[in-house]
Amino acid sequence: MTEQLSAGDWTKEGLKVLAKSGFTALKADPLAKAMGVSRGSFYWHFADLAAFHAAVLKRWREIAAEQIIADVEAASDEPLKMLLRRSFGARLDLERAVRNWAAFDAAAQGAVRAIDRRRLDYIEELLGTRGLTPATAQARAQILYWTFLGFALSGPPLPAARLQALLDELLAMLAA
C-alpha cells in the first residue's frame, strides 16, 4: 500500500475478516498480510490484540445500533417499519460472528449485552410512541427482539417477497 493505514482502516478490515472467518482470524500477522503491510503498522495503532479487539467491538456497536438508529430517525415517519426492514433485510454474517465470539470471550459478551440493551430500549421507545403502555411495550419489544435474533442466527436469507410478507405480518401482530 502506498498510503499509511489508520486505526479505522484496521478495524474496518477486522470487521470484514470477523464476518467472513470468525473471531479466531483477528490476529495481527494475517491481517497485516491481507492488507499488504507489516505488522508494525498494526502495533503502531494498537497496544496489543486486546486493544484491537476492543476497537472492533466498539465499531460493531456503532454500526449495528447507533448508525441504524440514527438512519431510521432521520429518514422515516414510520421508524418501527423502517427499523424492521433495515434489520431483517441486512446481511447478518457480522451479527452471527460477534455472537459466536461472545460465547468464548468476556469482552465480546459485554459488547453483545450492551447492544442488546440498546436495541431493546430503542424498540421499547418506538412501541411506546405508538401508545402502548410501558409494560406492553417492554413485552412486545422483547418478543420482537427475540424474533430478530432467531432470524439473524438462522439459515440463508429469504427471498425478498417472502421476507416482506413476514415483516408485514409482524407489524400487524405488533399493532394488535
Note whether 1 and 35 are within 8 A (CB): yes
Note whether 147 and 170 are within 8 A (CB): yes
Please give the model's pTM, rounded to 2 decimal places.
Answer: 0.90
pLDDT in tens, 98-146: 999 999 999 999 999 999 999 999 999 999 999 999 999 999 999 999 9
Place of cell 403502555: 133
Provide the grid cell at 22.
470468525
The type of residue at 55 is A
